[in-house]
Structure 1
């Protein structure tokens, strides 16, 4: 009887020990599985951030290149504009100089005629004739340059005339130019000098 109880006790201890071992193995197995899942999760997160940072670095590099290209383009445009501005200023200066030269070329012959008139020896009528010819030459030169005398035949026009005197006289029409004190000149529609006139009524 004692032996049976002893065998039973041993069997029970053996069963308990086996159960304990199995439980420990299961727990260890679960722990291993959990650890491998956590390690796998950590590795996945590392891969995710590596990929993310790699993409961000590539995007940043791409953006830097685009910014550099735009900066280079802007600098070239600025340089081109500066060159264009300098070129335009030089061209304007050359146009002005050429216009002055063309004008002077037309006026110089009149100066020659005036010098001849001053140095000429003769009576008053021949001197007058020489001055009249010089005046005609000068007016012809101005006409070639597109300069013409401002007319007063159509009456007073404030756009081209400057009234320095005004009179009331029934023998003249309204706004009629009675006298021209100083002739005015214009080139096409641009007034070079206003005519100084006396206006009636």
Structure 2
């Protein structure tokens, strides 16, 4: 336990005892005035000591509760941080398990010998593998056929064309992706009107 906690507990003990002394002091004075005998004074002192002992015991019980609750909270914080780190690690592992086979395919394509058609076919198969991996992870391509939407598209170019309607996506420079409602990357597009 730190010195600050010990000092706080000591101050709390002293404060409770002082309050109890002040509360009981008036009772002691009144009773002493009424019955000025030694027996009554001894009785009052005994009663006062018993009250102090009772308050000390109550304080110890509360102090024990406080220490237990503090330790439980610290354990909870540590456990939660560890679980959070584990969840993140597991999520990364799940994503990488889906992506790594595609990396293997690209490495095989680079090492392969053959004509341009065979290479092109291999790249198309690898692309299909990537798309399947993204689909398994719940990642979808952002559609631009419905027009420009600033929530999902980033217009980097704009043209005026009377033959096209308003907010039409003319060209997609870079596809955008989302998972559920969360945008991973906005589509980079050219818009018209």
| TM-aligned CA distance change 1:43 to 1:178, over 3 Å | closer
Question: Within 2, Cα distance between the matches of 1:42 and 1:137?
Answer: 98
- Residue 66 of structure 1 deviates from its aligned partner by 1.2
Give the aligned partner of residue 124 of structure 2: 132
TM-score (norm 1): 0.75
TM-score (norm 2): 0.78
Tell me, which stretches of 5 or more residues in structure 2 are unaligned?
1-32
Give the aligned partner of residue 80 of structure 1: 72
| TM-aligned CA distance change 1:196 to 1:51, over 3 Å | same
Give the aligned partner of residue 153 of structure 2: 161
Count of residues paired in the alignment: 161
Find 1:91's aligned residue among 83, 90, 98.
83
Give the aligned partner of residue 196 of structure 1: 188
Tell me, which stretches of 5 or more residues in structure 1 are unaligned?
1-40
Larger Cα-atom Rg: 1
Instruction: Give the alignment's Cα RMSD to 1 decimal.
Output: 1.7
- Residue 56 of structure 1 deviates from its aligned partner by 2.0
Find 2:60's aligned residue among 68, 75, 84.
68
Tell me the SS of whatever aligns to 2:85.
Answer: helix
